[in-house]
Amino acid sequence: MSDYGAKVSQAGYDVKTAAKERLVFSSKYDTFKVYVTGNGTLTVAAAVDPFTPRAGTVTVAHNLSYTPAYFVFVDNPVWATAGKLSPYTFRSIGATHNVANFACDSTNIYITFYNPDSTASHDYEYRYYIYYNELA
Amino acid sequence: MADYGIKISKSGFPVLTADKNDQIFNSEANSLKIWATGNVNISVSAASGFGTATVAHNLSYEPFFLVYFKLKHASKLWFQDSQDDSRLLANFNSGMVNTDSTNLNLRVNTDEASDWTATAYYIIFIDKAYE
């Protein structure tokens, strides 16, 4: 088969000889393609007690017929500063649940927050990216 | 130096004036390029409380990656460190991953009473985790 396609190398590297990790783009390799993004805030009621957190879930329909790659940023107003977003869920302490869990299936993405604070409700901020790239 | 390259802007933004944030592609800016995708089963032991697996990536450096886990309960794919939602408390079914210059190193932790099998769905990028 003939050798064809498009490549763009990083500045300072000859596109004809550059290693694959020195390419900005190559039509030989798939890329991450954003399908939809969104954001919002979810209020979760105060926990019954420190070991019985309340939960709330944001469900976002993606209308793809497969399970896509996704990325979620959330904040942690309970153990950290509100508005500071992380792409990783905040791990649990002791027997209490993670502050957030992220999941996806062929219909929706699910962003679930748990409030372990029995003294107050909290507003959880989230931002999500859903990609065209298929996981399963 | 000559002004050359390739730019593609988002719909509604003139390509000659669009900020990089409003561009879909710019040959001055690196883009994540996918090296490999796939899935691997992980046998999880109730006795030890975890299971592990590796995925050889055949890159000579530590690559950027994303991994999603199918855990014991529900068919959803969970992001790293997310916990299976079947139980609210004491639920330690969760997946973790790191990389070295040879493999993705996968681990699933559990507190289930019997052995089970998790599946990890991975995307490995050509791009280095660091320069």
Judge contact between A116 and A78, C-beta under 8 A.
Answer: yes
Best of B91, B96, B126, B128 to disrupt the A interface (most A CBs within 10 Å) is: B126
Tally of domains within chain A? 2
Q: Chains A and B: how many Cβ contacts under 8 Å?
A: 106
Predicted-complex ipTM score:
0.85
Q: Please, what is the average pLDDT of chain A?
A: 89
Q: What is the pLDDT of residue B5?
A: 85
Question: Do A6 and A47 belong to one domain?
Answer: no
**A122's tokens:** 């909290």
Question: Do A27 and A42 belong to one domain?
Answer: no
> What CATH number did the domain enclosing A91 receive?
2.60.40
Q: What is the pLDDT of residue A12?
A: 93
Nearest Cα residue to A56 out of A105, A121, A119: A121
Question: Do A120 and A96 belong to one domain?
Answer: yes
Q: Is A11 on the interface with B (CB under 8 A)?
A: yes
Report how far apart, in Å, the C-alpha atoms of B81 and of each of A7, B7, B9, B42, B97 are: 36, 37, 36, 16, 9
- The share of chain B scoring above pLDDT 70, in percent, equals 93
- Full residue range of the structural domain in which residue A7 is found: 1-31
Cross-chain residue pair A25–B27, CB shorter than 8 Å? yes
Best of B85, B98, B119, B127 to disrupt the A interface (most A CBs within 10 Å) is: B85
| Residue A62: pLDDT over 80 | yes
- Phi and psi at A21, nearest 5°, equal -80, -5
B78 to chain A: nearest residue by CA?
Answer: A103
Question: Do A16 and A81 belong to one domain?
Answer: no
| Range B5-25 burial, b when 16+ CB lie within 10 A, else e | eeeebeeeeeeeebeeeebee
Q: What is the pLDDT of residue A92?
A: 61
Q: Is B122 on the interface with A (CB under 8 A)?
A: no
**In residues, how long is chain B?**
131
Cross-chain residue pair B83–A30, CB shorter than 8 Å? no
Q: Is B83 on the interface with A (CB under 8 A)?
A: yes
Nearest Cα residue to A61 out of A105, A125, A113, A124: A105
This prediction's pTM:
0.89
Average pLDDT of span B61-89: 85
Average pLDDT of span B43-72: 96
Question: Do A4 and A58 belong to one domain?
Answer: no
Q: Please, what is the average pLDDT of chain B?
A: 90
Average pLDDT of span A116-132: 93
Q: Is A97 on the interface with B (CB under 8 A)?
A: yes
Question: Do A4 and A44 belong to one domain?
Answer: no
For residue B121, the chain A residues in CB contact (below 8 A) are 135-136
- The share of chain B scoring above pLDDT 90, in percent, equals 63
Q: Is B131 on the interface with A (CB under 8 A)?
A: no
Average pLDDT of span B47-62: 96
Higher pLDDT, B130 or B13: B13
Question: Do A63 and A123 belong to one domain?
Answer: yes
Question: Do A96 and A47 belong to one domain?
Answer: yes
Higher pLDDT, A113 or B86: A113
Q: What domains are defined for chain B?
A: 1-30 (no CATH), 32-128 (2.60.40)
Cross-chain residue pair A10–B32, CB shorter than 8 Å? no
